[in-house]
Amino acid sequence: MMVINLIGLALIALIVWWFWLYKPSKAVDSSVESITIVVNDGVYQPSRIKVAAGKKTTLQFFRKDGSPCAATVLFPDVEISEELPLEVNKSVELPPMSSGEYPFHCPMKMYTGTLIVE
């Protein structure tokens, strides 16, 4: 009985961790390491990117997904819309931004990412 209870508790802990505590991807800090955001398989990789507040930032995108929707990345809060050519490194310049979280996504929001400005 005791063993079964322990297994049950472990399962509950696992479920709590999975649904409430687990964050799928850690934010990558673009001011510390140079990063290329790969657009493929329905995700931006990495999808959470830290950038320094109050400074211009350049992000590199590399699109492997041939679908037309993935070809455009939108940063709605700073009114940026950029075409991402297939299999080519593309720089996207961001203006200085104030602290906060800013989403970026493709036109249909299948691809989504977050800029963490701090």
Binding residues for Cu ion, per CB under 5 A? 69, 106, 108, 110
| Rounded distance between C-alpha atoms, residue 88 and residue 36, angstroms | 11
Shortest Å distance, C-beta 81 to Cu ion? 13
CB of 51 or CB of 106, closer to Cu ion: 106
Q: Which of 49, 73 has the CB closer to Cu ion?
A: 73
Residue pair 32/52 in contact by the 8 Å Cβ criterion: no
Q: Is the Cβ of residue 71 or residue 116 nearer to Cu ion in the bound state?
A: 71
Measured from the CB atom, is 7 or 108 closer to Cu ion?
108
The 3-class SS string of 45-83 reads ECCEEEECCCCCEEEEEEECCCCHHHHEEEEHHHCEEEE
Residues 57 and 70: their CA atoms lie apart, in Å, by 22
Shortest Å distance, C-beta 61 to Cu ion = 14
Write down the least CB distance from residue 111 to Cu ion, Å: 5
CB of 107 to Cu ion, least distance (A): 6
